Amino acid sequence: MCGIAGLINSKGKREHGNRIKRAIMLQNERGNGLGAGFAVYGAYPEYRDQYALHVMAKDSKGLKLVEEFLHRDFNIIHGQDIPVWNFKINDHPFFRIFFVDPPAPGEKGREDRFTDDDYTLDRVMEVNARVEGVFIYSSGKDIGVFKGVGTPGDIYDFFRLDDYSGHTWLAHNRFPTNTPGWWGGAHPFNLLSYSIVHNGEISSYGTNVRYLESFGYRCTMQTDSEVVAYLLDLLIRKHGLPVEDAATVLAPPYWTSVEQEEEGDKKEKLLALKLIYESAMLNGPFAVLAAFDRGMFTLTDNTKLRPMTVGQRGDYSYFASEISALYEMEEELEQVYTPRAGEPCIITFDQQDNQADPIKTAAH
């Protein structure tokens, strides 16, 4: 059911969210009012070098506890309440944002073996696991996630998203089935650079969680979609896999397809990825749209039980569950593409000049 929309500007041009808002509100029937959200890349140019930690807490006591925790483990550059508009939604958590720098190695208990990202991930996981009623649900640099219980229009207005602009936007309209509809369980899910929105069900959730826990990740958001963001961080950032290979891990070709490949490097790589990362494979009907600091990509399961379409014009690429939502973002698309089952569609841009590749796919 869930609705998905996304756009990215290949040259890093920032814009307000009115187009992504139209695209996701067109898909209102794909949700039931129990969850919606947005992710904005390029949201905090004045603090682009700091980790932007978005915190939700059930009460002001929780906010005070997490602020004490962050003062202990980070250098807080700036902190403030996240502005909200209470006109439509009155019953909601407390929200606050902290822009932080990790301490230098040897300071505040930081071990030399930790990179800045590793240290931040570890601290975020500890807060979410140990501080009752508090969740850090967005932790990347120059990234903001805004989500909650409501329709896409309600959540957009509640977080006053007309006040933000970004070069990459994600949007989601949720229809929760076997997991609860609550503020932390709404999409997008984020960890450091990686944010995902998801339609469908991850039936491999238990296996994926145990695999992630073996690398120190802790899943606390009470929904199967959470594991996808963590797996992307593990595979791409920590293990150094190219995006194409990470996509192959998450939605690998069937064994019969691998056996039919001609002998050579491609077949050896597919065999290696399937054997090494068997427990990272996603099973079930799903469509995922993921954003990160170098681009955006989409991926569906190998029988494509959930829809996804892609469009492009000029420096912009657009993604949505429905073709009609693409045209809400751009009326005069130059290209419209529907990826095949299990085929990732990847947009990347070079960090030096923000120049994106055109639509490209990494077919199995």
Do 167 and 159 touch, CB atoms closer than 8 A?
A: no
Catalytic residue among 1, 2, 115, 127: 2
**Rounded-to-integer distance, Cα 198 and Cα 201, Å:** 8
Q: Do the strands 168-173 and 36-41 form a parallel or antiparallel pair, or are they unpaired? A: antiparallel
Q: Give the residue from 146, 173, 150 showing the smallest Cα distance to 34.
A: 150
What is the maximum alpha-carbon separation in the chain?
63
CA of residue 301 relative to chain centroid, distance: 17
Which segments of the chain does DSSP mark as H helices, in order?
A: 18-25, 60-73, 116-130, 152-158, 205-213, 226-232, 243-250, 255-260, 265-276, 323-329
Identify the H or E element spanning 357: none
Identify whether the C-beta of residue 53 lies closer than 8 Å to the C-beta of residue 139.
yes
Among 359, 346, 250, residue whose Cα is nearest residue 301: 250
Given the DSSP bridges, would you call strands 36-41 and 143-148 parallel, antiparallel or unpaired?
antiparallel
Q: How far apart are the first and last CA of the chain?
A: 26
User: Under a CB-based contact definition with an 8 Å cutoff, are residues 260 and 183 in contact?
Assistant: no
Active site residue 345: no
Give the residue numbers marked as catalytic: 2
